[in-house]
Amino acid sequence: MSSDVALVDTWAASGRSSWHRASALSKMAFVACVLFAVVTAHDPALLAGLAALLLVCLATARIPVGPALMLALYPLLFSSLYVLSRWDGTWETPSVLLLRSLTGSLAAVLLVSTTPYPDLFAPIARVTPRLLGDGLFLTYRAFFGLLHRAERTWTALRLRGGLAGNGLPRDLRHVGDGLGQLVLHSYDRSQRLYAVMQIRGHSGRVCGCRHWAHFTPIDLVPLALGIVVVLCAIARGGAS
């Protein structure tokens, strides 16, 4: 999971495709349209088509389709368990539910892998309470600092025999001690960050960037695609 976040962050920050240049707001509108179709569609063919469209979008955004697909497949495992427990004897129900899961996840992956996190969280922070909006920014930022620290801690634990298979409870206690050190690091880091924010004149909002709302002609692509998706969902919904 940690490596997934790092991978997606790299894709979002280093990409130069049309999808990367489109504003966060237009891509969010596109994802909202896809989710509308996901929630309302009952036709496996439509959902499969939608998933294929999203894979094409990922390819045109020059996102490696294989790893992106693996990310999107993750919730299928859990959805499968749920679907299995409620199987009604038809093949349509599981296929629709699993395709819905896949399509929704692909849309989220497309959004997050083509949008740097300040642009992604800024519009969310505008409509949520300060604690939540800023919490998203600070969590995402803190995660990468913590990631390196966590990797060093796990390496040290392994090298010193902390995870040498001396019984699961003992290994887990060592994992707990490692996590305890990370908790201490998190406390110290949060105090340092607070001091830095005070020095820089923290005004109550962490991010004031407005790149997310810079509209260009390229925004017409996600917006037009979104409208097409909604129209298809309505048309197929009406037909079925």
Partner 1 sequence: MTHLHIADGVLPVFLWAAGLLIMAGLVAIVSYRHRNDRADRLTLLGSLAALMLAAMAVPLGPIGHLSFAPVVGILLGPGLGFLAAVVVNAILALLGHGGITVLGLNALVLGTATMAAQPLYRLARARFIPGTAAAIASVIAGVASVIALWVVLALAGGGPAVDPVAHVEAAGHVGHVEGLSATSRFVAFASPFWALGFAVEAIVSASVIGFLARVRPELLP
Task: Scan residues 107-146 and list those touching partner 1 (CB under 8 A).
Answer: 108-109, 111-112, 120, 124, 128-132, 134-143, 145-146
Interface pick for partner 1 out of 123, 181, 213, 234 (rule CB under 8 A): 181
- Nearest distance from C-beta of residue 227 to partner 1, angstroms: 19
DSSP the chain: -HHHHHHHHHHHHH--SHHHHS-HHHHHHHHHHHHHHHHH---HHHHHHHHHHHHHHHHHTT--HHHHHHHHHHHHHHHHHHHHHT--S-SHHHHHHHHHHHHHHHHHHHHHHSS-HHHHHHHHHHHS-HHHHHHHHHHHHHHHHHHHHHHHHHHHHHHTTTTS-S-HHHHHHHHHHHHHHHHHHHHHHHHHHHHHHHHTT--S-S----GGG---GGGHHHHHHHHHHHHHHHHHHHH-
Closer CB to partner 1, 137 or 225, in the complex = 137
Interface pick for partner 1 out of 17, 67, 118, 182 (rule CB under 8 A): 182
Q: Confirm or reject binding of residue 75 to partner 1 (CB under 8 A).
A: yes
Closer CB to partner 1, 202 or 214, in the complex = 202
Mark residues 4-33: x for contact with partner 1 by CB under 8 A, - for none.
xx--x----------------------x--
Interface pick for partner 1 out of 16, 85, 167, 208 (rule CB under 8 A): 85
